[in-house]
Structure 1
């Protein structure tokens, strides 16, 4: 049995005096259900016991007296089943109160008295005397910037870039660290390394970039020391501390870090260091009273070696780490004092050179100046880069790639989800999604990790939250970010800004972006059974819905305002990414319905009955307005584009009786586009669901497995190891997209992975937190197998299917204390309890024999026949490449237009005859009579 709390992954520190408790039971008894649970907490004052009747085991309210600050307890659980058999007691789970009491924060903010430059990195220190008999020592620390603390020469933890980024003017985070083992009786020393990080970065685009929070970093801390005799003392930051500059010459998230080892101040965090040349610390910018951390720590997660060293056409030495990642480089080098090693970073190569244009104003350059005298090791500390490739210059002597290692950093969350399939390209696509999450979940969910942006765009996480919630335990991570969102929103009259934290000016409403306020809390409830977050966020949810309803007015249509729309529709010009096929007003009103509907559902869940009635009625008014304005009775939409149809189906706007017509048109438009993707940020996460829900599995499969540009798999064929921002961030000739906005690590379009998990593998929550699991695999044509595994709040669930000689075998694992509703291929429905299950059904996918193809075949027949399509393209690419490109990108693949008619407008008779011969040869090869 495992006990979980809201403590960050790998920590025993809780931010609340009443932490929720969850436990996972391991039992082999089929269909096991908990009947009760006994919980014991061991405190210094003695043991307390509580009994919980029923089967609740996820996010159970703390049944004891609240914890005190710094209190250490141990919790054990024992459960009994409906059979009356009690299990063994769990191993104790240690918990420690990481919060401060009301008014207990007394530390002042300090920094450099006379900074030598903007955003000047600083070193701070103090020494203090302690008595004997230290029982416990707890360090509370924070910064308007990023910092690390060392006590008596040793860092207090392995976290990096603390305390992360929150809206500093509204919410500041403090770390809570047990440092008892680092202190001694008598004299002690505390040293701080401090840089600006997000607090001093210049945010904004082009000439609008400016510092938003502070010109200089500052630090605040208090060390609470408790003695065995019950007494205590507190050491706090103040102007009696000493401050200086040092070897970290400059540090910036965007520009990089520059370190001169000749200026080293070794031992400054040890007793006896000579700080006579240091100045007194100065009072820093005011820091709001900090709160205990609830989100995961950021740590060094992984190291990756150089996989290849190449020389660029210009003669530069380039290192390839084989994976687009986020972090920095670690060096091991020796050479003369004053030697400068320069490191430049980029995600891709363009014609053999480092592709830095997408970085825009971000230099992403680090440098290290050697002290000389032996082997030196160094890595940056207060910056990070998104890169696969690095250019290294200035290396003294012969370069050995073993002396450079890439350090991967991100928020340290528990991995909870996996997916596998027989299609290697789709498997790589899924791996790219995972790495996209890893690179962009760094204290907050960012859009990209490499250029002069790295912002918490609300639209990206709104569409990606379901995928993220399957792959990792992101509950605490997103809960913390939603707290920031609500505080930004409070400062903007209910409007959710484009980004959180907001550093881009006054908040403006935008559909699919601001709707993160309603969608993300609902996802946390659906995937983690987290009612606490949705209860806290409920005022934020209603404020957003109310603001939109006010904008929509009596017509209940959100129209005529600024919108991002179906952002990055592949048909939009590179410099006009909002110029999508689906009208922005349709996108806006669809999301007005979505958010209002979610508020109604939240109100019902929370027991706010009057609100539930009110918002349900308002949602119905919006639904009716949408249908009247944008959908014809026959099921055609004013914007005849895939995203419009997908929203009407997937958001539940259109009545069920219209779904068949809407789905048929959606499938027809998808074929018309040659099964290439034709949606942007809004349509991409939902188009596959809309197709499969309405019976068009073949169409969804063709769309998923398309490798031509634009498609999910095109980047994979181009060697991508993360999800790209644009469908064609890199063009087929190896040239970077000409738009000024191009990232090669942008997870939003990877939101399709949620469909892979839920629909293809068939593993989804049917009730909140997977209390009831939905098992409904969808064997895709041409796939041999697929499987998904997820560590639910109740334990591990797994669903997999495999084709075997005309039959499909489905295997499933349902965790204890849950049940599953099962829909087998072919439609049989059943309910099962926990345990291992297996079913075998007939394979319902029927492969029709190929029909004869010729110049008289319709364009629809050709594109529906991959072999025929390939035969036509092969001839055109060899004989007239420009015609091949036109056919591929500008041909509507219609059922009533012949191939020969289309070719006659683009090629001569010789090419047409060659195509006819190729199709005849294909017929002969397949044994099809003509």
Structure 2
């Protein structure tokens, strides 16, 4: 096979660069084993050719003259291996500079001059003449709100809710689109549908939402054109544009939904040559900011789902089930009389057969359509989105045909980069739930939930989830874009990172551990995954500012204690109305993150060559870690808060590095996990770390038991109840089918889905050992409950995979390493690590299947042994339920399943005949 090269812009897979010097990356496809690049050449179509010695092919600095605003270049690349194999020149990569020159922005922000209500949707238009069609034309469009732009009746792009949400008072985003094919000689027209979206939404809780950005949307754009003779012309928004507020979208809201009256459709509104009766001059809004190119990929419709079932609820309502909790909206086709009103109401779950609307709080998630009666009409909202699986339909004319409905999935259009498979169907479904949760909540910004009256960029959620996110999808540009807003919001608060970004809540910003640490963790994870040094360079001032805030909070003691913290949020043992009341001390969580962020700043500075900063923050991190050990770790290897999250932090953040102490902490963590009978006992902070901490200290068996638990609270409990996304609470749905009574309950929150990182990195055994994946680690962990597991990932250098399967008493490990990468293979049966180059590799070794727990069991058996054997536990619970359902439930919930207590020691109040029955049943296991 002749080697081939594929070139791409690192952060700009669509080829539209937002900077003059975008970084480049390329991959080589070849079946030659051990392929390592000796040199590469890059050409930009101007005659310039740059030769690069060595293997670098990930996030390589732009080697050519900087792009001029609007400039287009055609790039190609080729590479050769150290053994002489050489690729031809790659397919051309068309690169366009999607930014304007300084001072070139001349468009005004315009909107309705005399709106008659808050957040009034509008139609805008402008007609103009061209002597000839341009040979090149680019539309630069922005909105404070959301727009859909057309030229001569055709949409300019397939973006949804463009340009997306940003910190509108600090940054307004701009899209650039090649529209050459839409323009023609003579009359032309630009038409814009405009709605408030995030700008005009009210944010806040307790029934007191506040509009913080404005009451009306506005739009700005300029159309640049170049003609055959080299002349240029720009058409820009200004006071001569026209608007009307009586179009078919009569109301539009992110939270409430959209109201559409198709009888109000304006024929030809976005085409040239129409009469302008009913159109009035626009109002110009004074906006101090100049729009900036959006780095994140746009929101698009990426998938469509059909109805899987039509349900008639106990109350008689008609409900469509799309089989998957998703984020998006419904498209329906209908033929009915004029004036017919059709209402679509959206919910994530059913509660006792009816639409579960209470978790939405003040959100409504309802779209209403009034038919024009013109034959087959398409119903779909334009400027809203919903989190839903179920849709209640009212007002449908005639018999409802489920084929008339399609659920259209929306999210920022990131390429999926990882697949996981195993022999355990529930774990496979869990992984897909994580993927769906990420897709739905990565919509313009990383949100906490997509359905209720919130949908905010909570920093804590993305901080804990960012390693998983960077594995599952190519989210480099998406999160780098969001980090720009984070840094700007942070500047307004003297280094403190607001709890949500954009800072729509506008409360007093105060430092919160694990939340504000998104400032350091997220850019570091992007660098680790994508080799993106640019994000470190861009964010280092923000990273340092946050670390300095934390170090100031810790003071001379180097312990951050006594302040307001979210702590290990949503610890399952916390009361429903006190989600921050975790078992672990908030001071332990806070101090651990001081060390974590200081260490990351040191590492980032070292990557960027800032040795003085690297040394200073390494010293700070060492001091905090030492103070942490002195204050919170006992000489016997216990944490002062004897809770799983405390141990997971000490181990996972390398706050304790002495091998003997780490082993002691790991052993105690395994005991604490078994004491809960392998049910989850951690919240936001501990959950992403606990499986890794167990496995790293030799307790992968306990990690597997924790992963495979199906009783509540556990990762698989929601799966057994049919969940198709990750829930906010471990028990968002109770076993009896009731929704958790807490005021804060979501069925699509990605944070607890951080477990997927462990599935790929540890269970299947594939991780990137160096930034960008030039070196991989293949280290699978075969554990009881699995016969095989695999991870396949698209790294910057190509496809990599790690897979293992049992074959009797042997295990087969298979690995694929992409060209220009190497891997260290750590085999589960021991021995020295194996170094391999690119290509496919297979290994076979003896590893007997884990022994299943076995009796004999009796009333004298330690509780720990009962917890370790699902069959023994099942017999115990069946017998106790025969005695009393209430007693059995309470016993399972309150018992600490430890080695030091025998079963008979804790069966208080159980009558002798039940004890005799239980003893006999246990003996028969």
Bin of the TM-score, shorter chain as denominator length: over 0.9
| CA-based RMSD | 1.1
| Cα drift, residue 442 of structure 1 | 0.5
Q: Residue in 2 aligned with 1:683?
A: 686
Which segment is superposed worse, 855-864 or 728-737?
A: 855-864
Give the drift of 1:40. 1.3
Aligned equivalent of 1:858, options 859, 862, 881:
862
- 8 Å contact kept, 2:809–2:849: no
User: Residues 849 and 591 from structure 1, CA distance in 2 versus in 1: closer, same or farther, beyond 3 angstroms?
Assistant: closer
How far residue 879 of structure 1 moved from its aligned partner, in angstroms, is 3.1
Which residue does 1:129 correspond to in 2? 129
- Report the secondary structure of 1:207's partner residue: coil
- Taking the TM superposition and a 5 Å limit, the aligned residue runs for 1:880-895 are 880-895=884-899
Q: Equivalents in 1 of 2:440, 2:119: separation in Å?
A: 25
Q: Which residue of 1 aligns with 2:460?
A: 459
- 2:741 maps to 738
The offset of 1:910, in angstroms, is 2.6
Which residue matches 1:309? 310
**Given the alignment of the two structures, is residue 373 of structure 1 paired with residue 377 of structure 2, yes or no?**
no
Partner of 1:552: 554
Q: Distance in 2 between the 1:860 and 1:51 partners?
A: 64
> Closer, same or farther in 2 for the Cα pair 1:426/1:702, shift >3 Å?
same
How far off is 1:878 after superposition? 3.2
| CA distance in 1 between partners of 2:236 and 2:202 (Å) | 30
Aligned-partner Cα distance in 2 for 1:159–1:848:
54
Determine if the alignment matches structure 1 residue 522 to structure 2 residue 515. no
Partner of residue 469, structure 1: 470
* Structure 1 CA distance for aligned equivalents of residues 830 and 8 of structure 2: 37
Instruction: Pick which of 429-438 and 873-882 moved more.
Output: 873-882
Query: 1: CA distance between counterparts of 2:693 and 2:267?
Result: 61
Cα deviation code 1:854-913 (max 9, x no counterpart): 11111111111111111111222233111211121110012121212222x142223222
Of stretches 625-634 and 195-204 in structure 1, the one that deviates more from structure 2 is 625-634
Q: In the alignment, which residue of structure 2 is the partner of 1:925?
A: none
Counterpart selection for 1:2 from 2, 6, 10: 6
SS at match of 2:573: coil
Tell me the CA shift for residue 684 of structure 1. 0.1
1:454-504, CA deviations, whole angstroms, 9 ceiling, x for partnerless residues? 001111011111111111101111111111111111111000111110111
Q: How far is the alpha carbon of 1:616 from its aligned partner?
A: 1.2
Which of 30, 35, 39 aligns to 2:38? It is 35
- Per the normalisation by structure 1, the TM-score is 0.98
Aligned counterpart in structure 2 of residue 542 of structure 1, from 541, 544, 549? 544
Distance 1:676 1:642 in 2: 11
1:650 is the counterpart of 2:652: yes
> Which of 748, 753, 756 is the matching residue for 1:753?
756
For 1:277 and 1:783, the matched residues in 2 are separated by 68
The reply on whether 1:879 has 2:880 as its aligned counterpart is no
Structure 1 pair 7/601, CA: closer, same or farther in 2 (3 Å)?
A: closer
Alpha-carbon displacement from aligned partner over 1:226-259 (angstroms, at most 9, x marks no partner):
1111111111101111100111000000000000
Please say if residues 7 and 15 of structure 1, whose CA atoms lie closer than 8 Å, have aligned partners that are also in contact.
no
Distance (whole Å) between structure 2 residues aligned to residue 418 and residue 906 of structure 1:
51
* Structure 2 CA distance for aligned equivalents of residues 814 and 424 of structure 1: 27
Shift in Å at residue 766 of structure 1? 0.9
Partners of 2:830 and 2:619 lie apart in 1 by: 34
Shift of 1:266: 2.1
User: 1:902 aligns to what?
Assistant: 906
Residue number in structure 2 paired with 1:112: 112
The offset of 1:287, in angstroms, is: 5.6
Query: Secondary structure, in 3 states, of the residue corresponding to 1:134?
Result: coil
Cα distance in 2, alignment partners of residues 284 and 378 from structure 1? 32
1:825·1:844 contact (CA, 8 Å) conserved in 2?
A: no
- Is 1:593 the counterpart of 2:595? The answer is yes
1:669-708 paired onto structure 2 within 5 Å: 669-708=672-711
Supply the distance in 2 between the matched residues of 1:240 and 1:373 (Cα, whole angstroms): 34
Shift of residue 7 of structure 1?
Answer: 5.3
- Residue in structure 1 matched with residue 919 of structure 2 by the alignment: 916
Question: In structure 1, how many angstroms separate the alpha carbons of the residues matched to 2:268 and 2:885?
Answer: 67
- Are the aligned partners of 2:388 and 2:451 in contact in 1 as well (CA < 8 Å)? yes
Contact in 1 for aligned 2:133/2:183 (Cα 8 Å):
no
Any conservation in 2 of the 1:214–1:285 contact (CA below 8 Å)? no
Task: Give 2:383's aligned residue.
Answer: 382
User: Residue 404 of structure 1 corresponds to which residue in structure 2?
Assistant: 405
Q: Deviations over 1:301-360 (max 9, x none)?
A: 111111111111111111100000000010101111111101111100000110000000
| Residue of structure 2 equivalent to 1:266 | 267
Whole-Å separation in 1 of the counterparts to 2:334 and 2:41: 57
Matched residue, 2:340: 339
Deviations 1:186-244 (A, max 9, x none): 11011000000001100111233110101100000001111111111111101111100
1:20 corresponds to which residue? 23
SS in 2 for 1:574: coil
Matches for 1:469-618 after TM superposition, within 5 Å: 469-505=470-506, 506-618=508-620
Name the residue aligned to 1:623. 625
Corresponding residue for residue 716 of structure 2? 713
Aligned length: 917
Alignment partner, residue 160 of structure 1: 160
1:226 counterpart residue number: 226
Tell me if structure 2 keeps the 8 A contact 1:297–1:412.
Answer: yes
The TM-score with structure 2 as length reference comes to 0.98
Q: Is the 8 A contact 2:732 2:746 kept in 1?
A: yes
- 2:75 match: 75
CA contact (8 A) 1:883 1:906 kept: no
CA contact (8 A) 1:144 1:287 kept: no
1:119-198 alignment, distance < 5 Å:
119-198=119-198
Q: What is the distance in 1 between the residues matched to 2:126 and 2:749?
A: 43
1:6–1:294 contact (8 Å) kept in structure 2: no
3-state secondary structure, aligned to 1:817: coil
Quick one: distance in 2 between partners of 1:561 and 1:588? 9
Kindly indicate whether residue 635 of structure 2 is the aligned counterpart of residue 633 of structure 1: yes
Number of the residue aligned with 2:64: 64
Deviation for aligned residue 1:165: 0.4
| Structure 1 residues 140-159: Cα deviation after superposition (integer angstroms, max 9, x where no partner) | 01001000111000000111
Deviations 1:716-767 (A, max 9, x none): 0010000000000000000000000000000000101101100000000111
Corresponding residue of 2:331: 330
Distance 2:877 2:300 in 1: 49
The structural deviation recorded for 1:845 is 4.6
SS in 1 for 2:590: helix
Question: Secondary structure at the residue paired with 2:48?
Answer: strand
* C-alpha contact 1:566 1:682 (8 A) present in aligned 2: yes
Change (3 A) 1:591 1:7: closer
Displacement after TM superposition at 1:849 (Å):
6.3
Deviates more, 1:882-891 or 1:736-745: 882-891
Give the Å deviation of 1:86. 2.2
Cα distance in 1, alignment partners of residues 590 and 914 from structure 2: 47
- What is the Cα deviation at residue 826 of structure 1? 2.3
Partners of 2:780 and 2:207 in 1: CA distance: 52
What's the secondary structure of 2:838's corresponding residue?
A: strand
CA contact (8 A) 2:572 2:713 kept: yes
C-alpha separation in 2, matches of 1:7 and 1:425:
35
> Does the 8 Å CA contact 1:359/1:451 hold for their aligned counterparts?
yes
Query: Equivalents in 2 of 1:95, 1:844: separation in Å?
Result: 55
Which of 841, 847, 850 matches 2:851?
Answer: 847
Which secondary structure does the structure 2 equivalent of 1:47 belong to?
coil
Gaps of 5+ in 2: none
